[in-house]
Structure 1
Amino acid sequence: MFNKKLLPVLITIALVAGFAGGVFYSRPKLADEVIVQKLINQDTGKIQNVDFSEFWKVWKLLEEKYVDQGKLDTQQMVYGAIQGMVNAIGDPYTMFFEPDTSKKFQEEIAGAFGGVGMELGFKNDTLTVIAPIKDTPAFKAGIKSGDRIVKIDGNSTAGMTVDEAVSKIRGKPGTKVTLTIAPPANGTIRDITLTREIIKVPAVDWKIIEHDGKNTAYIQIYTFSQNVDSDFKKASDEILKSNTDSIILDLRNNPGGLLDSAINLAGYFVDKGQLVVSEVFGDGTKNDFKADGASQLAKYPILVLVNGGSASASEILAGALHDNKQIHLIGEKTFGKGSVQQLEELAGGASLKITVAKWYTPAGINISVAGINPDIKVELSDKDKESLIIGDPTKDPQLQKALDILN
């Protein structure tokens, strides 16, 4: 299941909660025996020049003096210690999962589950909606990219990790969850009650838009899931048979997904052998990923739509097209996630997702901090956002701008 690299950015509630803002590598289960046994049997002293004596002193004091001895759970104490060690790194995308959370994480990567249909991340240390997923409860309720989630069922999200938020929002289909939502800027804070559903995420949709006597193939990529390769090939085959004059590739509100798919899709637009993305690890090791397609769609004039919900694999594809083919990006600055995570399975069902590398566009730009700025900025006003229907030129100013430029 985990033989592919995943990108995401970002937690997807009811989609891909493991896509927390980066590329994922998966590994076979470690050969380690039970973590607790290894840790408890470790004597005090120094390991790799780290003094663990204070740790063990606290452990022994708790065992000897804590008033409710019967409530001490050594397994949970170990998990808590590991969680504290991971949190001390200060990287919100390096995470330790206890067995129950680890199981949910892997289920989410694998397929459909009960949720409300949106991706979450952090913006300015605030739990933020990266993008709602089309035709899900969150989407239908009007939740927008950039909305801040300040409470979940009345509980403040301050200090809450993304995974804790995901676990609280997910649940059995048919049950309800109430989110307290604050807009990106000043505005009315409101409660929205959503009914959880089984969420199945579309990958690709496309249609012909006629504008000023020209036919533009408008392609929306919702996520880089396992279905995107086959769905995009089907769309490409149909476009090549149609009377298409140009292409608009819409990556708005696309949180990412499979790295292999982003590279594969780049091959429809850039020449074989051209660099798509580079990964740089902590020791300086660099892996270059190059296009291996037939550049079937490169003959068409192309524009790419992006916004603050475009993250991870979306940014890789947008960066590859921009840097290699000078294809213009239109819309708003992307989210900015360029880290690579590796998922390690631990004994007892726990797992560790650890940031191991950063990725760079062909021009050598790491977009983790600033995101990718569009060549042509088209910001949406509050009024635009209220009436926005993505894919409808009469109610989508960014799409309308792209059509005007192409035609």
Structure 2
Amino acid sequence: MGKRFFVLFVSPLLVVTLFVFYDKKVSGQNGLSREGQTIAQVRNIIATQYVEEVDDETLFEGALRGMVDTLDPYSAYLDPESLEEMKVETEGKFGGLGIEVSLEDGWITVITPIEDTPAYEAGILAGDRIVEVEGESTEDMTLQEAVRRLRGKPGTQVTIGVLSLGEAEPHEVVITRALIRVKSVKRVGIVDAEAKIGYLALVSFQDDTTKELEEAIGRMEEQGARAFVIDLRNNPGGLFHESIYSADLFLEDGVIVSTRGRDSRANEEFLAQAKGTLPPYPLVVLVNRGTASASEILAGALQDHRRALVIGSRTWGKGSVQSIFELDGGKRAMKLTTARYYTPSGRSIH
């Protein structure tokens, strides 16, 4: 392809010691902060007074999760199980319903259903709130816990309560879990042979998305296509760097996206290069409420450079970048919002 020159900036920037439990007899020593003393006091009261015995590992996990949960909906503490799930997701194969969710106003909210998955076929829509899982309310449930409950062995069923936009009461939906295999590019073909227009749906950004996109356009070129419709509707995003690579296929120069954060190392401009750019075919990009994150980066870059006509409804508005910080020798991790991204014209997507 010749265009893969970027380094994904969201690799760990530093090692952070998040939390230390102090023994009661140590907590009074000089040098320990007031906050540290209070934490040690809480730990010791729980250890000696709580009605049931609680091991330090449980308290440690709860403290880590609690700190990150006070932040935005996209930051999260990843225990070993959650970390492994995240790795599986980016490979494009996992067991579950086929929905991308976030935490909005304390409720699990669907960003978008993934096409041709059980959730999509059950009629789940972007903006739906999942208010119950197997009869248990999801109000104030962590995102990781909700995802864990929704996933399961392929072939098993899960009952969820769904509150759709405009509805006063939730309705019950029974969905059979399946092995979710997500291909980034779907429904490739010529939609108007006379006008030489090709169409493809780009449904997610994961490993090899740009390669799939370039190959799909190449196949349609061989069939005579000289203009393309790129459908980003219900694309929840995915890997940040893949959206940049994809935009670079269509841009010869200029800024694709910039990021800004508190740490100066998060302040980056990602530039297009002429090498490997596709011919300047006319482009139309389709978007909707389910278009989020990395797909907004692609649409924004093509729109600001006047490289494509963007058509559709208002997108989701997830204009933040999450970095993964490894903890405990890589056994755990923290997904932390470290920057906001801006389109070439300086727009923040939110």
Provide TM-score, normalisation by structure 1.
0.76
Residues 132 and 138 in structure 1, CA contact (< 8 A), matched pair in contact too: yes
Distance 1:47 1:279 in 2: 37
Counterpart in 2 of 1:238?
219
Counterpart in 1 of 2:54?
72
Residues 177 and 193 in structure 1, CA contact (< 8 A), matched pair in contact too: yes
Q: Is 1:264 aligned with 2:227?
A: no
- CA deviations on 1:286-305 (whole Å, 9 max, x unpaired) are 2111123533142x221110
Q: Is 1:282 aligned with 2:262?
A: yes
One-letter code aligned to 1:44: S
Residues 107 and 141 in structure 2, CA contact (< 8 A), matched pair in contact too: no
1:86 Cα shift? 1.9
Aligned 1:45-56 pairs, distance under 5 A = 51-56=35-40
Unpaired runs of 5+ in structure 1? 6-23, 370-407
Counterpart in 2 of 1:62?
46
Q: Is 1:177 aligned with 2:158?
A: yes
Distance 2:161 2:100 in 1: 16
Q: Is 1:150 aligned with 2:131?
A: yes
Counterpart in 2 of 1:210?
192
Distance 1:263 1:332 in 2: 23
Counterpart in 2 of 1:313?
294
- CA deviations on 1:19-55 (whole Å, 9 max, x unpaired) are xxxxx823499697xx88x534694368796532222
Residues 29 and 345 in structure 1, CA contact (< 8 A), matched pair in contact too: no
Residues 4 and 258 in structure 1, CA contact (< 8 A), matched pair in contact too: no
Residues 265 and 317 in structure 1, CA contact (< 8 A), matched pair in contact too: yes
SS at match of 1:178: strand
- CA deviations on 1:74-113 (whole Å, 9 max, x unpaired) are 111111122222223x312221122233332333333422
Residue 25 of structure 1, aligned match among 6, 10, 20: 10
Percent identity between the two aligned chains: 36
Aligned residues: 339
Distance 2:103 2:314 in 1: 16
Residues 320 and 361 in structure 1, CA contact (< 8 A), matched pair in contact too: yes
Distance 2:343 2:333 in 1: 30
Aligned 1:235-384 pairs, distance under 5 A = 235-271=216-252, 273-285=253-265, 286-292=267-273, 293-298=275-280, 300-325=281-306, 327-347=308-328, 349-367=331-349, 369=350
Distance 1:242 1:365 in 2: 37
1:125 Cα shift? 4.2
Residues 254 and 311 in structure 1, CA contact (< 8 A), matched pair in contact too: yes
SS at match of 2:225: coil
SS at match of 1:214: coil
Distance 2:60 2:303 in 1: 47
1:238 Cα shift? 1.9
Counterpart in 2 of 1:379?
none
- CA deviations on 1:246-296 (whole Å, 9 max, x unpaired) are 21111010111222221121122211x321011112145521111235331
- CA deviations on 1:201-260 (whole Å, 9 max, x unpaired) are 01113111128x423111210111113122112112123333224211110101112222
Residues 149 and 181 in structure 1, CA contact (< 8 A), matched pair in contact too: yes
SS at match of 1:337: coil
- CA deviations on 1:109-160 (whole Å, 9 max, x unpaired) are 3342210111112344432211111211111112122222111111111111
- Taking a change above 3 Å as real, the CA distance of residues 270 and 28 of structure 1, as seen in their structure-2 partners, is closer
Residues 345 and 352 in structure 1, CA contact (< 8 A), matched pair in contact too: yes
SS at match of 2:154: coil
Counterpart in 1 of 2:3?
none
SS at match of 1:104: helix
Q: Supply the RMSD in Å over aligned alpha carbons.
A: 2.7
Counterpart in 2 of 1:44?
27
Residue 109 of structure 2, aligned match among 120, 125, 128: 128
Distance 2:299 2:93 in 1: 27
Unpaired runs of 5+ in structure 2? 1-5
One-letter code aligned to 2:117: T
